[in-house]
Structure 1
Amino acid sequence: MVYAKTRNEKEWKKHITSLLCVVVASIIMSINIKSFVRAGDLIPGGFTGLSLLTQRSLNVFLHIDVPYSIINITLNALPAFIGFKMIGKKFTSYSVLMIVLNSFLVDLIPITPITYDPLLVSVFGGILNGVAIVIALSGRASSGGTDFIAVYLSNKLRKPSWNFVFGINTVILTVGGFLFGFEATMYSIIFQFVSTQVIERLHRRDHKVTLLIITKEGETIGQELLEYTHHGVTQFEGQGCYLKENKTMLYTVVGADEVKDVVHLIKKLDPKVFINAINSEGVTGRFYQEPIE
C-alpha cells in the first residue's frame, strides 16, 4: 500500500505531536493571560475566565489570595471527569495535562503587559487565545471546561459548535460585569468573539470538502482512498469531450483537514489527475470521522 506505516509508528507519532501541541498551546495561553488579559482586566470566558473571575472575587471581596492553579484545576475536575466518560480517555488525558501545565505557568510567569489599550488587548488577546486553542485541538487536546462541551457537541452534531459555547461564555461575562463593571466585560466579549472566530476559521476538523476526481486510474485510486480515508467513494464512468478518451470520475467527501494529504496521495498515483475540491455546507447520512482518541 502507498505510504504504509506500522500501527506503532503512527501511534508514537500522534503521541509526540499531541505532547508538543499541548506544551506550545499552554505556553501561548499562559503568556496571553499574563500579558493581554491581565493588562485589560479581561474575563476571557470559559473555565479560564471563570477561574480568573473567582480568583479576583476572592481577592477583592474576601481579601483571600488563592493561586490561579488551585482554582483552575479544581473547577476543571468535574468537566474532566465528564470528558473521560463521554469523549475519550486519551483526549481528556492530554487536556488534563494542558490544564495543569497552563495553570502552573500562569502562576510562574511574571506579568508583562504589552499594551494597556483596551481594544488592542481585546483583539490581539482574542487572536492569541484562539490560536492556542486551535493548536491544542490539533494535538487532540483542549484547554478544558467549555472546550469539552464544544468538542462533544461537534462530534455529536457533525458541525462546529463554538458559537454555542460563545453564548455560554457571554453568561459568565455578564456575571463578571455585575461584579466588576460592564466596561471590561464588553471588551471581554470582543476578546471572546475574536477568539471564537479564529477557532472557526482555523480548526478544520468539522468542515467537509467534496472531491471530484477525473482520472484514468479509477480502480487503483478508488481502492487507495477507501483504505487511506475510510470514506465512501462513488465511481462514475464517462468520456472526455475534447480527446474522447474514457475517464473515471470518483466522488468522495473528506474532512477539510484531510484534503492536503489526500490530494498528495492521488497525485502520486496519477500525476495527470484533475481534482475539483468544493466546500460542502453540510453532509447528511453516514460519514466516517476519525475518533479523537
Structure 2
Amino acid sequence: MRTMTQKDRLKEFVIRVLVIALSSLIVAINLKSFVAAGDLFPGGFTGVARLIQRCALEFGGVELPFGPINLALNAIPAVISFKLVGRRFTLYSCLTILLTSIFTDLVPAFEITEDILLISVFGGMISGFAGCLCLWVRVTSGGTDFIAIALSERKNVDAWTYIFCGNVVLLFIAGYLFGWDRALYSMLYQYACTQVIKMLDPDGRRATLLIVTGRETAGGVCAQIQETNHTATLMEGVGLYNGEPCVIIYSVVSDGEVRSLARKIRQSDPKAFVNVLRTQRVVGKFYRRPRD
C-alpha cells in the first residue's frame, strides 16, 4: 500500500481540524438553540454537564458555564483513551471537547421554534450529524465515547449497553427533578441522534461482496480487496448461461469502502459481476482501520 507523504499528512491534519471545528460549532449552536429551548438533557457527559448546570441554577441560583464542567468530566475518560486507544486519536478528540466547550459559552442563546416535538427530533438529528462529522475524520466528541471505543477495541467489551443504562439513570434523575415530560422528550432527542449516526456512520456498517469473475482475472480482483486489508474466500463455479468455469469471490468489507472497491474491481475485470449485500452482523475476525 502507498505510504503517506508529508503533504498527505498535512492535508489530513488540516481537514481533520476544519471538520472538528465545524462539528464543535454545530454542537454548540444546537445546545444553545434546540437543547436550551426545549430544556432537554442529551446523553453522555454533555447531558451530565447540562444536568449540573440546571441543578445549580434551580437550587442554588448560580448560572455555571458549560466549558469548565465539560472539560472536568472528560478528564479521566481522556486519560483512559490515551492509554488504550492512542495518542493522536485522543488529542484530536480533546480538541473537539475544547472547541465545543469554548463555542458553547461564546454562542448566544436563541430559539428557533417553541414546538417541543420539533425541538426534540431536529435537535437530535443535528446532534447526530455533528457526531458523524467527527466519525468521518476518525475522532470522537469525547465523554462516554472515549470509554466505549477504548473498551470495545482493546478489551473486546461491549460498553454501549452500560452507557445506555447510564443515560437511562441520567434521564430518571432529570425527570424526577425537572419533570417527566422533559425526560421523555430527551429520550426522543437521543433516539433521533442515534438513528442519524447509524445511518451516516460508514465504519459502523458492513457489506458482503459476492463477485463473479474469470479464473484469469481473479488474482487482480483479490489484490484490490487485499489493498483494503480485508481478505476473501474463492469458490469455483460454472456459469449457467454459457457453461464456462468462473470464480466466485466472497468478502466482507466496511460499507464506506464499497464504492471505491467496486470501481477498482471493474477496472481489473470489466466483465465482473458484483453483488453487494447489507450485512447485519459479523462474528469473528474483521479488520477495522485503527483510529490512531
The normalised TM-score by structure 2 is: 0.91
Alignment partners' CA distance in 2, 1:104 and 1:200: 28
The Cα offsets for residues 129-180 of structure 1, whole Å up to 9 and x where unpaired, read as 1111111111111111112233335536889875653332121121112222
Q: How far apart, CA to CA, are the structure 2 residues paired with 1:279 and 1:159?
A: 25
Aligned counterpart, 2:207: 209
- The answer for the alignment partner of 2:15 in structure 1 is 17
Greater CA drift, 201-210 or 68-77: 201-210
Partner in structure 2 of residue 219 of structure 1: 219
* Match among 57, 60, 66 for residue 59 of structure 1: 57
Alignment-derived partner of residue 89 in structure 1: 87
% same residue: 41
Q: Deviations over 1:201-240 (max 9, x none)?
A: 22131322111111221011112321x1111122223321
Which residue of structure 2 lines up, in the alignment, with residue 137 of structure 1?
Answer: 135
* Higher mean displacement: 141-150 or 151-160: 151-160
CA gap 1:171/1:281 in 2 versus in 1, 3 angstroms: same
Aligned length: 290
Aligned to 1:289: 288
Q: How does 1:2-41 map to 2 (within 5 A)?
A: 4=2, 6-41=4-39
Paired residue type of 1:238 = G
Q: TM-score w.r.t. structure 1 length?
A: 0.91
User: Is the CA contact (8 Å cut-off) linking 1:149 and 1:165 kept in structure 2?
Assistant: no
- Distance in 1 between residues matched to 2:195 and 2:36, nearest whole Å: 22
Equivalent in the alignment of 1:70: 68
User: Is the alpha carbon distance of 1:89 and 1:212 closer, same or farther for their aligned partners in structure 2, counting shifts above 3 Å?
Assistant: same
* 1:129-168 alignment, distance < 5 Å: 129-155=127-153, 165-168=163-166
Query: What CA distance in whole angstroms lies between the structure 1 residues aligned with 2:84 and 2:3?
Result: 30
How far off is 1:288 after superposition? 1.4
Q: Give 1:62 deviation, angstroms.
A: 2.0
C-alpha deviations, 1:106-141, integer Å up to 9, x for none?
111111210111111111101111111111111111
Q: RMSD across aligned C-alpha pairs, in angstroms?
A: 2.2
Amino acid at match of 1:231: H
Q: Distance in 2 between matches of 1:145 and 1:225?
A: 35
- Quick check: 2:23–2:131 contact (8 Å CA) kept in 1? yes
Distance in 1, matches of 2:209 and 2:155, equals 22
Q: For the Cα contact (< 8 Å) 1:211–1:252, is it kept in 2? A: yes
Gaps of 5+ in 1: none
Equivalent residue number for residue 195 of structure 1: 193
Counterpart-to-counterpart distance in 1, 2:198 and 2:148: 11
User: For residues 155 and 211 of structure 2, what CA distance do their matches in structure 1 show?
Assistant: 28
Residues 1:184 and 1:162: Cα distance change in structure 2 (over 3 Å): same
Matching residue of 2:253 = 254
Greater alpha carbon shift after TM alignment, 147-156 vs 38-47: 147-156
Relative to structure 2, which stretch is displaced further, 114-123 or 146-155? 146-155
